[in-house]
Amino acid sequence: MATAVSLSLVTAAAAAGKRFVLSSPSLSFSSFRRPTTHLRAAISSTRRRAAASSSRIVATIAVGDKLPNATLSYFDPADGELKTVTVAELTAGKKAVLFAVPGAFTPTCSQKHLPGFAEKAGELRAKGVATVACVSVNDAFVMRAWKESLGLGDDVVLLSDGNLELTRAMGVEMDLSDNPVGLGVRSRRYALLADDGVVKVLNLEEGGAFTTSSAEEMLKALE
């Protein structure tokens, strides 16, 4: 009843063109508070994930395509100097295996992917592969430190795609900015065989999964 009377007074005052201050606690809007910081963060995160799923990157590279001629950097083991190489130079007139990892020093990349190719590099060369190279969206200094930390030889060339030139040209980037680890934009995990720059085998993983891009799977494809 008190609420109905209060509303009637508001209506009458408005009709008379008078200012009216409502003091009835029964119509207080104090309970309609803005979302808390945690709730706003959760809503924002949900929206980002929804946007990411709706604009999912689809690889633009496929079997039969020519690899884009991106420029990559590396430290030459012969003289220790920082150098660059193009994909065309890596693959022209020969068979080459390129495999990509989401990040240097990350667990699966360090424990399985890169060591697996280093271990099988000799077998790959016995099947006619001239170059085995690992690509990552890390700078060349990080790639050198990663190689040294694993105690690897020179059977696998570690290449930096720090500017995502090759990764974006192939359409294999993935945005991990929403991950609290702070990885940013990285490459999906893959392994490919190119013959004179043309993709013959492409084992592209979903995100950072490790199921088909191993050295063993590449050896099977070369049988």
- Supply 143's token pair: 């790639």
Residue from 100, 104, 109, 152 carrying the catalytic annotation? 109
Distance CA 94, CA 151 (A): 28
Task: Answer yes or no: 109 catalytic.
Answer: yes
Q: What is the DSSP string of 166-223?
A: HHHHHT-EEEETTSTT--EEEEPPEEEEEETTEEEEEEE-STT--SS-SHHHHHHHT-
The owner of tokens 């696998």 is 156
Which has the closest alpha carbon to 61: 191, 183, 160?
191
Tokens representing residue 136 in the block: 């990552």
Q: State in Å, rounded, how far the first CA of the chain is from the last one.
A: 87
Query: Catalytic positions, please?
Result: 109
